[in-house]
Chain A
């Protein structure tokens, strides 16, 4: 808990509206059920790459340490593997809480510790908005600008190999009822704006 304590000292002014805001989300409404047992952190397969453990993040949300939580690497590293939730004695949906925190970080334009991540979510959603389905090569291309040249080269080599093996679809598969998709995207986006 040392890290959390440091954060408390650093953040003299905790933001009490943070918890209120989180409690409005689907999984966040149960965030006060957490008993800080640490099973989530002990079970997390990606803990080694996180700055705060999942248990610490939950506590920090409860304490209103909004800036520290939204600028942590933890929220972006969580791969939604659900080992934590499977073992959580209180049945808290931790990956979904992480997802809502990502959402808040994106909307508050908090610089992400892993800069590719917000771009990934945006690009993914845009592609699904355009075709109704994912088109893997376009996602790779959209993320390319954020990666190093050597990585781009490596990805292209793998892409070519996969193409030769018939695993790359050049023309995207798309939903025929495009109007349908367009309406869903528009009204979901409108709802988001109204809520803000």
Chain B
């Protein structure tokens, strides 16, 4: 199983542990991700688009142009990159005028693209190419008794008009991963609610209100931790959790993991390789509950 890998900007920085844990899990499952050489910003959902729509599409198109030469599906970890690239490919496919305008910009740079390359999320690869049974086969430490709230967020599954591999209202892909590693996946009402995304940078009070709803909903359902497939969601739920607690006078102490970290723990992988010390809210609580041999080399 070999794919053209689009890391995206967050996975190189604030979401470093997502990339690390993914690579560690890949070794176990035999997935090969070949980085798209010299990739650039996906084009962003709205940040560049609101400033210059054609520039945003051209940024996606440069990535297509490089990836198309690799002759493999594009796979990315970031829900926002996944969505942005998928939407760009759809828009360029459906609107010949738009395609013509972007073609011109890309040709100026000496490049060519068709935009017909398939864009996929890593979770799609795990569910549909690898399969939950292969994941279960590799479990060394079943996560028995751990109650995990899957938080899907927005752009992994919405909107269905742009290529989607899961149900937009009741997604199940991450639940299946959680169950495949022996944990209990919780059903709760806010798993596809928006965390507020980049409002974290521009209108924090709105974002805190939105993130609070997600955190409380999972907490009230008795979750031991939340798992997410999106660096932006992870930042708001994890790094901003202290601010949520402060603003609303709450005690949450809710560990937020990438689903790849959860898999890595179940595979018995080295906590360093999974970046378990990098999550802002300490994972100590859940690792102690699990009594894993990984007894915690996790800095608080």
Contacts and interface: CB of A to CB of B under 8 A. Distances in A.
B243 interface: yes
Contact of B9 (A125, A134, A143, A185): A134
A128 B41 contact: yes
B40 interface: yes
A93 B108 CA distance: 30
A166 B210 contact: no
B245 interface: no
Interface string A57-92: 000000000000000000011011111011000010
A20 B217 CA distance: 43
Contacts of B52: 103, 125, 188-189, 192
Q: Which 7 A-B pairs give the minimum distances between C-beta atoms? A: A81-B194, A102-B50, A188-B55, A134-B9, A81-B154, A82-B158, A124-B47
16 contacts: A26-B91, A45-B193, A46-B196, A85-B159, A102-B46, A116-B202, A117-B202, A117-B203, A124-B47, A128-B44, A135-B13, A158-B239, A165-B280, A173-B9, A180-B109, A183-B110
A76 B275 CA distance: 35
B146 to A, nearest CB: 23
A192 B161 contact: no
Contact of B158 (A81, A100, A103, A183): A81
B28 interface: no
Nearest to B162: A82
Nearest to A48: B209
B158 A85 contact: yes
A26 B98 contact: yes
Contacts of A83: 154, 158, 192, 194
Interface stretch (B99-107, B119-127, B180-188, B252-260): B99-107
A161 B281 CA distance: 11
B201 A79 contact: no
A98 B106 CA distance: 26
Given A102-B50, A136-B14, A180-B62, A82 B155 contact: yes
Contacts of A185: 55
A177 interface: yes
Given A85-B158, A136-B9, A169-B13, 10 more contacts: A77-B206, A79-B197, A80-B154, A116-B202, A134-B41, A167-B15, A173-B13, A181-B62, A183-B108, A191-B54
B51 A125 contact: yes
Interface of B: 9-10, 12-17, 38-41, 44-55, 58-59, 62, 83, 91, 95, 98, 101, 104-106, 108-111, 154-155, 158-161, 168-169, 192-194, 196-199, 201-204, 206, 209-210, 213, 239-240, 242-243, 275, 277-280, 299
Contacts of A132: 40-41
B45 A80 contact: yes
Interface in A106-124: 106, 114, 116-117, 120-122, 124
Contact of B197 (A81, A162, A169, A189): A81
Contacts of A187: 104-105, 108-109
Contacts of B158: 81-83, 85-86
Interface string A162-196: 10011111000101110011011101110110000
Contacts of A102: 46, 50
B9 A45 contact: no
A151 interface: yes
A56 to B, nearest CB: 18
Nearest to B277: A165
A49 interface: yes
